[in-house]
Amino acid sequence: MALTVAVATWLPQPHATIQDGLISAQAAELIARDLRRELERDPTQSIAELAKGYELDQAPIQTVYIVTPDGLDVLGRSLPDAVAELASSPGDPQQAARNISRRLHVQDDGLAGYRVIVFQGFFPLFPALAKPGGRVLLASFAVITSAAMAMLLARFIARPVRRLRIAGRKVAAGDLSVRVVPSVGGRSDDIAKLAHDFDLMTERIDALLQSRHRMLRDVSHELRSPLARLQALLSIQRQSADTAETRRIDRMEVELERLDRLIGEILDYSRMEAADGVGRHATDLVDLLQTIIDDAALEAEVADKGIALRAPSSCVVAVESNLVQRAVENVVRNALKHTAKGTAVDVSLKLDAKNVRIIIDDRGPGVPDALLARIFEPFYRVEGAQATRSSGGGIGLAIAERSMRLHGGSASASNREGGGLRVELQLPR
């Protein structure tokens, strides 16, 4: 737009006024013809009175003068110099008009010495262009106006796109309640359709996840009853069992207890997935970690493994202690399970300005880099591994990650230099 205006303003004035000149010449001819007709019908009429019936002053586009044989305007108006010169010029008025200015147009046929003179004015931009720097000023104004319009248009397009991007990040972070359509107003373009499709997708994902949570919860509840009956039947059977049968019953009870723990983990995870937040109270994380380490040390000693804690003397943070304890326990037990015999699991607590980081390092086989993020998914098993990289039957690390997210933190994993896996649990201070 700015380029068009700038080029137009640089056009020579005569070329820009050709069309206006034709219009002014036609106006002079029409008024003269009309006056002739009225005078032929009634020669006693006054041309001055007839002139009052026309709209003669159309400045700045053009002004019509009807001048007497004496060179005076019939309405008593003062004449511009060019018009006065033409009014007093003898001979052919058409030739005189062309000699004086191409902005003059005249008709006098049949008007008894009167002349209809149309003085073509300047287009409003021309006086400004005629001044020093006028064209540069107008071109600058056009560029600024175009830039402002472009910014408004870009904002009109970019604002809903930015809201879509923000909503996408929230969905990626697990917030499936976000909707975009209300923020795009009454738009009906492709961006509005994209926002509508985005909301439909989010609603569908939310419905599928809710369905999965309900299924996990319902199946777990349904399994609890037959499991309890099996445990009761084993207790009864134990009373009359011999030594060989008792060993088999002991084995079955161990598996039933493991299944019972798995069902409990699934129920806990389902409840955590449905929760939006947690209750918090001041907790010394160093004491909490020491308790976990003391309990895990007994199991580690039996398996010819070790576990050690490096932490400051105290670190009090507002958290839900039960969830944090379960998260750390799951990661620690997972590390003890995979660290090699004769090695130790290192647990450390580090502080920075905004976060508390709990780091658990093992000396096990590690995890392929491409699969590190997936070990926090429920029941995910690393391909080719002999056992899932999680405690709790494949859901322990998922519980740890969800616990951190409920606190506004995160859980991540990386492979250590020299072998082994590092899991970092991060909590806001």
Q: Please report whether residue 183 resides in a domain.
A: yes
Gyration radius of the chain's alpha carbons: 46
Q: Which of 34-43, 221-230, 337-346, 407-416 has the lowest mean pLDDT?
A: 221-230
Q: Is the pLDDT of residue 281 over 50?
A: yes
pLDDT over threshold 70, residue 66: yes
- Whether residue 307 is contained in a domain is answered as yes
Report how far residue 392's alpha carbon sits from residue 98's, in angstroms, rounded to the nearest whole number.
103
Query: Is the predicted pLDDT of residue 8 greater than 50, yes or no?
Result: no
Q: Are residues 420 and 292 in the same domain?
A: yes
Whether residue 258 is found in the same domain as residue 202 = yes
Q: What pLDDT is stored for residue 54 in this prediction? A: 80
In the predicted model, what is the mean pLDDT of the chain? 81
Q: Is residue 329 part of a domain?
A: yes
Residue 55 has pLDDT above 60, yes or no: yes
Question: Residues 236, 361: one domain?
Answer: no
Same domain, 269 and 331: no
What is the domain count for the chain?
Answer: 3
CATH of the domain at 409: 3.30.565.10
The answer, yes or no, to whether residue 139 has pLDDT greater than 90, is no
In a domain, 12, yes or no: no
CATH number of the domain to which 258 belongs: 1.10.287.130
Say how far apart CA 226 and CA 223 lie, in whole Å: 6
Is pLDDT larger for residue 421 or for residue 96? Answer: 421
> Are 268 and 289 in the same domain?
no
Last residue of a domain, one of 274, 302, 320: 274
270 and 296 co-located in one domain = no
Q: 401-407: long-range contacts at Cβ-Cβ below 8 A with a sequence spacing of 24 or more? A: 401/376, 402/269, 402/272, 402/273, 403/272, 403/323, 403/324, 403/326, 403/327, 404/327, 405/174, 406/272, 406/275, 406/277, 406/278, 406/320, 406/323, 407/278, 407/280, 407/319, 407/320, 407/323, 407/324
pLDDT score for 131? 58
In this predicted model, which residue has the larger pLDDT, 367 or 156? 367
> Given a cut of 90, is residue 307 above it in pLDDT?
yes
pLDDT > 90 fraction of the chain, expressed in percent and rounded: 21
In this predicted model, what pLDDT tens digit does every residue of 157-214 receive, in sequence order? 778 888 888 888 888 877 788 888 887 767 778 888 888 888 899 888 888 878 877 7
For the question of whether the overall pTM of this predicted structure is more than 0.75, the answer is no
Same domain, yes or no, for 193 and 110? no
Task: Choose one of 274, 301, 323: the last residue of a domain.
Answer: 274
Domain range enclosing 240: 176-274
Tens digits of residue pLDDT in 317-339: 999 999 999 999 999 999 999 99
Question: Which of 225, 245, 274 corresponds to the end of one domain?
Answer: 274
